[in-house]
Structure 1
Protein backbone atom coordinates (compact mmCIF):
# COMPACT_ATOMS: atom_id res chain seq x y z
CA UNK A 1 0.00 0.00 0.00
CA UNK A 2 2.80 2.42 0.80
CA UNK A 3 4.61 1.80 -2.49
CA UNK A 4 1.70 2.89 -4.73
CA UNK A 5 0.97 5.85 -2.44
CA UNK A 6 4.61 6.95 -2.57
CA UNK A 7 4.80 6.53 -6.34
CA UNK A 8 1.64 8.56 -6.88
CA UNK A 9 2.66 11.25 -4.39
CA UNK A 10 6.22 11.71 -5.59
CA UNK A 11 5.98 10.99 -9.30
CA UNK A 12 7.86 13.85 -10.98
CA UNK A 13 4.83 14.96 -13.03
CA UNK A 14 1.15 14.92 -12.11
CA UNK A 15 0.02 11.31 -12.48
CA UNK A 16 -3.13 12.32 -14.32
CA UNK A 17 -1.23 14.24 -17.02
CA UNK A 18 -1.28 11.36 -19.56
CA UNK A 19 -5.07 11.00 -19.30
CA UNK A 20 -6.20 14.62 -18.94
CA UNK A 21 -7.47 14.73 -22.51
CA UNK A 22 -9.45 11.52 -22.11
CA UNK A 23 -10.80 12.69 -18.75
CA UNK A 24 -11.95 15.96 -20.31
CA UNK A 25 -13.69 13.97 -23.07
CA UNK A 26 -15.41 11.70 -20.53
CA UNK A 27 -16.57 14.71 -18.51
CA UNK A 28 -17.93 16.39 -21.68
CA UNK A 29 -19.79 13.18 -22.53
CA UNK A 30 -21.22 12.94 -19.01
CA UNK A 31 -22.30 16.59 -19.02
CA UNK A 32 -23.98 16.07 -22.39
CA UNK A 33 -25.93 13.22 -20.77
CA UNK A 34 -27.29 15.28 -17.87
CA UNK A 35 -24.56 14.66 -15.29
CA UNK A 36 -24.39 17.88 -13.22
CA UNK A 37 -21.71 20.43 -14.06
CA UNK A 38 -20.24 20.19 -10.54
CA UNK A 39 -18.90 16.77 -11.57
CA UNK A 40 -15.82 18.39 -13.07
CA UNK A 41 -12.05 17.94 -13.01
CA UNK A 42 -11.78 19.40 -9.50
CA UNK A 43 -14.44 16.99 -8.24
CA UNK A 44 -12.68 14.01 -9.85
CA UNK A 45 -9.31 15.08 -8.43
CA UNK A 46 -10.74 15.61 -4.92
CA UNK A 47 -12.52 12.25 -5.06
CA UNK A 48 -9.31 10.56 -6.16
CA UNK A 49 -7.48 12.11 -3.21
CA UNK A 50 -10.11 10.82 -0.79
CA UNK A 51 -10.05 7.34 -2.35
CA UNK A 52 -6.24 7.30 -2.28
CA UNK A 53 -6.19 7.67 1.51
CA UNK A 54 -9.11 5.37 2.43
CA UNK A 55 -6.75 2.32 2.43
CA UNK A 56 -4.35 4.24 4.69
CA UNK A 57 -7.15 4.73 7.21
CA UNK A 58 -8.35 1.13 6.91
CA UNK A 59 -4.85 -0.30 7.35
CA UNK A 60 -4.06 1.97 10.29
CA UNK A 61 -7.45 1.29 11.88
CA UNK A 62 -6.97 -2.47 11.62
CA UNK A 63 -3.34 -2.30 12.73
CA UNK A 64 -4.17 -0.13 15.75
CA UNK A 65 -7.70 -1.16 16.77
CA UNK A 66 -7.51 0.67 20.10
CA UNK A 67 -6.97 4.03 18.42
CA UNK A 68 -9.88 6.37 17.83
CA UNK A 69 -10.92 7.37 14.30
CA UNK A 70 -9.70 10.92 14.87
CA UNK A 71 -6.23 9.65 15.86
CA UNK A 72 -6.03 7.82 12.54
CA UNK A 73 -7.21 11.06 10.94
CA UNK A 74 -4.28 12.88 12.54
CA UNK A 75 -1.96 10.22 11.08
CA UNK A 76 -3.50 10.82 7.65
CA UNK A 77 -3.08 14.56 8.14
CA UNK A 78 0.61 14.17 9.03
CA UNK A 79 1.29 11.85 6.09
CA UNK A 80 -0.51 14.22 3.74
CA UNK A 81 1.35 17.28 5.04
CA UNK A 82 4.62 15.37 4.54
CA UNK A 83 3.66 14.54 0.97
CA UNK A 84 2.62 18.10 0.15
CA UNK A 85 5.81 19.52 1.68
CA UNK A 86 7.84 17.04 -0.35
CA UNK A 87 6.06 18.13 -3.50
CA UNK A 88 6.54 21.80 -2.62
CA UNK A 89 10.27 21.55 -1.96
CA UNK A 90 11.43 18.81 -4.32
CA UNK A 91 9.04 18.48 -7.27
CA UNK A 92 8.89 21.61 -9.38
CA UNK A 93 6.20 20.32 -11.74
CA UNK A 94 3.90 19.33 -8.84
CA UNK A 95 1.84 21.71 -6.72
CA UNK A 96 1.32 21.52 -2.98
CA UNK A 97 -2.30 22.07 -2.05
CA UNK A 98 -4.24 22.65 1.15
CA UNK A 99 -7.24 21.06 -0.58
CA UNK A 100 -5.21 17.87 -1.07
CA UNK A 101 -4.39 17.80 2.64
CA UNK A 102 -8.07 18.16 3.54
CA UNK A 103 -9.27 15.49 1.10
CA UNK A 104 -6.46 13.08 1.99
CA UNK A 105 -7.23 13.48 5.68
CA UNK A 106 -10.92 12.91 4.95
CA UNK A 107 -10.05 9.69 3.14
CA UNK A 108 -8.00 8.48 6.11
CA UNK A 109 -10.90 9.26 8.46
CA UNK A 110 -13.36 7.40 6.20
CA UNK A 111 -10.99 4.42 6.13
CA UNK A 112 -10.61 4.49 9.93
CA UNK A 113 -14.39 4.57 10.35
CA UNK A 114 -14.78 1.65 7.93
CA UNK A 115 -12.16 -0.33 9.85
CA UNK A 116 -13.94 0.48 13.10
CA UNK A 117 -17.24 -0.77 11.66
CA UNK A 118 -15.62 -4.01 10.48
CA UNK A 119 -13.96 -4.58 13.85
CA UNK A 120 -17.23 -3.89 15.69
CA UNK A 121 -19.10 -6.25 13.36
CA UNK A 122 -16.51 -9.00 13.93
CA UNK A 123 -16.67 -8.48 17.69
CA UNK A 124 -20.48 -8.64 17.69
CA UNK A 125 -20.33 -11.76 15.57
CA UNK A 126 -17.90 -13.42 18.00
CA UNK A 127 -20.09 -12.46 20.94
CA UNK A 128 -23.23 -13.86 19.32
CA UNK A 129 -21.35 -17.07 18.42
CA UNK A 130 -20.26 -17.59 22.04
CA UNK A 131 -23.80 -17.00 23.31
CA UNK A 132 -25.18 -19.75 21.06
Structure 2
Protein backbone atom coordinates (compact mmCIF):
# COMPACT_ATOMS: atom_id res chain seq x y z
CA UNK A 1 0.00 0.00 0.00
CA UNK A 2 1.46 3.33 -1.04
CA UNK A 3 1.13 6.35 1.22
CA UNK A 4 0.81 9.66 -0.58
CA UNK A 5 0.94 13.03 1.02
CA UNK A 6 -1.85 15.24 -0.13
CA UNK A 7 -1.03 18.85 -0.61
CA UNK A 8 -3.08 21.92 -1.11
CA UNK A 9 -2.24 23.50 -4.43
CA UNK A 10 -0.76 26.96 -4.27
CA UNK A 11 -3.14 29.67 -5.36
CA UNK A 12 -2.32 31.29 -8.70
CA UNK A 13 -1.39 34.58 -7.03
CA UNK A 14 1.10 35.49 -9.73
CA UNK A 15 -1.85 35.90 -12.08
CA UNK A 16 -3.13 38.63 -9.80
CA UNK A 17 0.18 40.48 -10.06
CA UNK A 18 0.05 40.10 -13.84
CA UNK A 19 -3.50 41.51 -13.85
CA UNK A 20 -2.31 44.46 -11.79
CA UNK A 21 0.52 45.19 -14.21
CA UNK A 22 -1.91 45.00 -17.13
CA UNK A 23 -4.27 47.40 -15.33
CA UNK A 24 -1.31 49.72 -14.72
CA UNK A 25 -0.53 49.86 -18.44
CA UNK A 26 -4.22 50.29 -19.32
CA UNK A 27 -4.74 53.15 -16.88
CA UNK A 28 -1.60 54.89 -18.13
CA UNK A 29 -2.73 54.41 -21.74
CA UNK A 30 -6.14 55.92 -21.01
CA UNK A 31 -4.55 58.82 -19.14
CA UNK A 32 -2.25 59.39 -22.11
CA UNK A 33 -5.34 60.50 -24.05
CA UNK A 34 -5.41 63.45 -21.67
CA UNK A 35 -1.69 64.29 -21.46
CA UNK A 36 1.81 62.90 -21.10
CA UNK A 37 1.94 64.07 -17.47
CA UNK A 38 -1.32 62.25 -16.70
CA UNK A 39 0.03 59.12 -18.39
CA UNK A 40 3.22 58.85 -16.37
CA UNK A 41 1.38 59.91 -13.23
CA UNK A 42 -1.15 57.07 -13.72
CA UNK A 43 1.72 54.70 -14.50
CA UNK A 44 3.46 55.65 -11.27
CA UNK A 45 0.21 55.24 -9.34
CA UNK A 46 -0.37 51.78 -10.77
CA UNK A 47 3.21 50.70 -10.09
CA UNK A 48 2.92 52.05 -6.53
CA UNK A 49 0.20 49.47 -6.00
CA UNK A 50 1.43 46.60 -8.18
CA UNK A 51 5.11 46.41 -7.21
CA UNK A 52 4.63 46.29 -3.42
CA UNK A 53 1.92 43.70 -3.99
CA UNK A 54 4.31 41.65 -6.13
CA UNK A 55 6.79 41.75 -3.26
CA UNK A 56 4.05 40.61 -0.86
CA UNK A 57 3.12 37.69 -3.13
CA UNK A 58 6.75 36.64 -3.45
CA UNK A 59 7.30 36.92 0.29
CA UNK A 60 4.02 35.42 1.50
CA UNK A 61 3.94 32.36 -0.72
CA UNK A 62 7.51 31.15 -0.33
CA UNK A 63 6.56 28.42 2.14
CA UNK A 64 3.79 25.84 2.16
CA UNK A 65 2.78 22.76 4.10
CA UNK A 66 1.86 21.95 7.67
CA UNK A 67 5.48 21.67 8.77
CA UNK A 68 6.12 25.23 7.64
CA UNK A 69 3.20 26.82 9.49
CA UNK A 70 5.37 29.20 11.51
CA UNK A 71 7.28 30.32 8.40
CA UNK A 72 4.02 30.77 6.46
CA UNK A 73 2.52 33.02 9.14
CA UNK A 74 5.75 35.01 9.55
CA UNK A 75 6.05 35.43 5.79
CA UNK A 76 2.52 36.81 5.56
CA UNK A 77 3.09 39.32 8.35
CA UNK A 78 6.49 40.39 7.03
CA UNK A 79 5.18 40.59 3.46
CA UNK A 80 2.21 42.73 4.46
CA UNK A 81 4.38 44.99 6.62
CA UNK A 82 6.90 45.56 3.85
CA UNK A 83 4.11 46.05 1.31
CA UNK A 84 2.79 48.92 3.45
CA UNK A 85 6.28 50.42 3.88
CA UNK A 86 7.07 50.14 0.15
CA UNK A 87 3.75 51.76 -0.78
CA UNK A 88 4.31 54.66 1.64
CA UNK A 89 7.90 55.14 0.45
CA UNK A 90 6.78 55.10 -3.18
CA UNK A 91 4.25 57.85 -2.58
CA UNK A 92 6.80 59.87 -0.58
CA UNK A 93 9.40 59.65 -3.35
CA UNK A 94 6.84 60.45 -6.04
CA UNK A 95 5.55 63.53 -4.23
CA UNK A 96 9.07 64.70 -3.45
CA UNK A 97 10.81 64.00 -6.77
CA UNK A 98 8.27 63.93 -9.62
CA UNK A 99 7.35 67.22 -11.15
CA UNK A 100 5.12 67.98 -12.91
CA UNK A 101 2.67 65.50 -11.41
CA UNK A 102 -1.01 64.98 -12.04
CA UNK A 103 -2.18 63.93 -8.57
CA UNK A 104 -5.64 62.93 -9.79
CA UNK A 105 -4.13 60.59 -12.40
CA UNK A 106 -1.66 59.23 -9.83
CA UNK A 107 -4.44 58.23 -7.45
CA UNK A 108 -6.70 57.07 -10.29
CA UNK A 109 -3.96 54.67 -11.42
CA UNK A 110 -3.39 53.49 -7.86
CA UNK A 111 -7.09 52.94 -7.15
CA UNK A 112 -7.69 51.22 -10.50
CA UNK A 113 -4.95 48.70 -9.78
CA UNK A 114 -6.07 48.32 -6.16
CA UNK A 115 -9.58 47.49 -7.39
CA UNK A 116 -8.02 44.71 -9.44
CA UNK A 117 -8.34 42.70 -6.23
CA UNK A 118 -12.09 42.62 -6.84
CA UNK A 119 -11.46 40.67 -10.04
CA UNK A 120 -8.77 38.53 -8.40
CA UNK A 121 -11.29 36.03 -7.02
CA UNK A 122 -12.34 35.18 -10.56
CA UNK A 123 -8.72 34.94 -11.70
CA UNK A 124 -7.78 32.69 -8.78
CA UNK A 125 -10.50 30.26 -9.89
CA UNK A 126 -9.14 29.97 -13.44
**Superposition TM-score tier, normalisation by shorter sequence:** 0.3 to 0.5
Structure number with higher relative contact order (C-alpha < 8 Å, ≥ 6 residues apart): 2
**TM-score normalised by structure 2 residue count:** 0.32
**TM-score normalised by structure 1 residue count:** 0.31
